[in-house]
Structure 1
Amino acid sequence: MSRTAPTAMEQLLSSLDIERLEQDLFRGTSPQVGWQRVFGGQVIGQALVAAQRTITADRPVHSLHAYFMRPGDPAAPIIYEVDRIRDGLSFATRSVVAIQHGKAIFSLSASFQKAEEGLEYQDPIPAVAQPQDLPGKEEMREAFLAGAPDHIRSYWERERPIEVRPLSLEHYISDQKLEPQQKVWVRTTGPVPDDHIIQAAILAYLSDMTLLDTALFAHGRSVFDRELQVASLDHAMWFHRPSKLDDWLLYSMDSPNTNGARGFTRGSLYQRDGRLIASVAQEGLIRDRAKA
């Protein structure tokens, strides 16, 4: 009897369910999907799961700060070592180091807080077209992939656990210098467990998608430009409100600065009902190999 291959979403959930080796030691693996290096969002998500599994359930994550130090090897397991920095009355702090081939490839610090009442305010959700009014995955393939180079076609045709529906595709098909901002709708391609640990990890995973691309718009360049070396350097995230991730999220991004072979980007993640659920900041390497 043939067994159906797992979907991309099932592979993501499996990869986030990291194995506990010892009290504060965990092991994660990567989906074997042909990537040359581990996707940064996966390492963030797995490290966050490792940290959260050393925290009591009444303290959800409220912020994380991470550094990427070496590219991850998709063929090798990743060891996550958690340091219990502090457990206070309201807050707890954890540090996580991800190790491959005997070397640190990534580090994360995260803070967790018991739920409290307090002053409340948020920026309103931007007024944009709704996801159902935008071209779907198949329509985007037909319109965008005709005549596209092989490496771009393979990127867009690959099955993913997160569907991305951009408000505009102009930056992918134009070499014009554009405003360094973009908005995309994102959603998971399968159900998400009713588990705040996994929900936070998936949100962290998808927060690394499309973000650094925004820093290239002002230069008329694209992440698909083979003369560019583009990679995440650090990543910070603040979790404002819980979300079950059962609908589309609007990811609104902008880039106020590029210099020194680095690009800085910011993002806000909203539910469709307008609730701001997370804020993100990232700096990434943007190196022009042609000028190196």
Structure 2
Amino acid sequence: MKNTTELVNILTLEDQGDNNFSGISKDIGSPNVFGGQVLAQSLNAAYRTVNSKRILHSLHSYFLEPGNLELPIVYNVQTIRDGGSFSTRRVTAHQGEKTIFILACSFHKKEEGYEHQMPVKKEIKQPEDLLSWTDMLDQFGDFLPKKMKAFLSIERPIEFKPVQVVNPFDKKDLPPVVDVWFKLKGDRSNLNLAQKQQILTYISDYNILTACLYPNASKAHFGNTQMASLDHSMWFYRDFDFNDWMLFSIESPNSYGARGFACGNIYTREGKLVASVAQEGLMRPPRKK
């Protein structure tokens, strides 16, 4: 995938009737289906069963089995409740006889109410002053570890610019914090709110577990640690657009028992809080022989 149009095409499922929807997968550099893709496709399925005036406000999900990149994924949507203000859906993702993912999500009619939000970090570096993943590959590709170079070489519909650039050869522990700017590639002008939320959910599965690795970076990295998303939750607040860079500000309060927990907020460039994310992931160190 190289741009927004191709991403939207992947996230838009085929309606098979009886609240069943089918989708295909794209490789992003990992051996299994990318969790963000399954999340976003599940939302696409759920949105297709909900009144168009209701807006997604939260989701909670579990990754049960690794997804096979070569097999289609079938999403079944169950209508749990359609109340006066809220609609709730359960989505189950299958490959053959195997259930690989489950999601519960809630939609809310538009209402007015009180407002506040946590402010964006002050004096954070702006994207114009930072290197993107593409820039890093171009400038340092010959010196990067093989797995990192291969990962950065995959074409993506999103450009990422991390605020904290870490030298992979500098073996030292770091604070459990990751701030990364991101921006969609290609035409972003005709996206509706449902599509924007699906794309934001897709993006939210990138970078988040990195914050869990940093406090043990002197010995742990993606090349020697078995990592996988276990669960993922999001809360959506305000409408937004993808015409400018957005900031995903992440921190990890805890890692323990071969699991790491991270949470973060997603802001527009102007500092408007759009969504919050929480995820726990597997972080299994090399087994002792």
Q: CA deviation at 1:98?
A: 0.3
Once residues 73 and 236 of structure 1 are traced to their aligned partners in structure 2, the CA distance between those partners, rounded to angstroms, is 23
Aligned residue among 187, 191, 194 for 1:197: 194
Decide whether the 8 Å contact of 1:179 with 1:217 is kept in 2.
yes
Once residues 155 and 266 of structure 2 are traced to their aligned partners in structure 1, the CA distance between those partners, rounded to angstroms, is 23
Q: 1:132 to 1:223 in 2, by over 3 A?
A: farther
Is the deviation greater in 196-205 or in 150-159? 150-159
Matches within 5 A, 1:1-292: 7-31=2-26, 35-127=30-122, 128-170=124-166, 172-192=168-188, 193-220=190-217, 224-291=221-288
Q: 1:222 to 1:119 in 2, by over 3 A?
A: farther
Q: Deviations over 1:217-239 (max 9, x none)?
A: 00016885332100000000000
Once residues 222 and 165 of structure 1 are traced to their aligned partners in structure 2, the CA distance between those partners, rounded to angstroms, is 24
Decide whether the 8 Å contact of 2:3 with 2:157 is kept in 1.
yes
| SS state at 1:60 partner | strand
Q: CA deviation at 1:153?
A: 0.8
List runs of 5+ in structure 1 lacking aligned partners. Answer: 1-5
List runs of 5+ in structure 2 lacking aligned partners. Answer: none
| SS state at 1:112 partner | strand
Decide whether the 8 Å contact of 1:32 with 1:75 is kept in 2.
no
Once residues 42 and 202 of structure 1 are traced to their aligned partners in structure 2, the CA distance between those partners, rounded to angstroms, is 9
Partner amino acid for 2:209?
A: L
Task: Report the count of equivalent residues.
Answer: 287
| SS state at 2:196 partner | helix
Q: CA deviation at 1:33?
A: 5.9
Q: CA deviation at 1:174?
A: 2.6
Q: 1:137 to 1:259 in 2, by over 3 A?
A: closer
Q: 1:185 to 1:34 in 2, by over 3 A?
A: closer
Is the deviation greater in 169-178 or in 59-68? 169-178
Q: Deviations over 1:228-287 (max 9, x none)?
A: 100000000000111222211100000000001000000100001110000000000000
RMSD: 1.8
Once residues 290 and 77 of structure 1 are traced to their aligned partners in structure 2, the CA distance between those partners, rounded to angstroms, is 33
Decide whether the 8 Å contact of 1:171 with 1:222 is kept in 2.
no
Once residues 219 and 54 of structure 2 are traced to their aligned partners in structure 1, the CA distance between those partners, rounded to angstroms, is 40
Once residues 145 and 270 of structure 2 are traced to their aligned partners in structure 1, the CA distance between those partners, rounded to angstroms, is 38
Q: 1:66 to 1:236 in 2, by over 3 A?
A: same
Partner amino acid for 1:219?
A: N
Give aligned-pair identity as a percent: 41
Once residues 49 and 222 of structure 1 are traced to their aligned partners in structure 2, the CA distance between those partners, rounded to angstroms, is 39
Once residues 226 and 237 of structure 1 are traced to their aligned partners in structure 2, the CA distance between those partners, rounded to angstroms, is 28
Once residues 251 and 80 of structure 1 are traced to their aligned partners in structure 2, the CA distance between those partners, rounded to angstroms, is 28
| SS state at 1:247 partner | coil
Once residues 95 and 243 of structure 1 are traced to their aligned partners in structure 2, the CA distance between those partners, rounded to angstroms, is 26
- TM-score relative to the length of structure 1: 0.93
Residue 3 of structure 1 corresponds to: none
| SS state at 1:291 partner | coil
Q: 1:144 to 1:224 in 2, by over 3 A?
A: farther
Q: CA deviation at 1:216?
A: 0.4
Partner amino acid for 1:253?
A: I
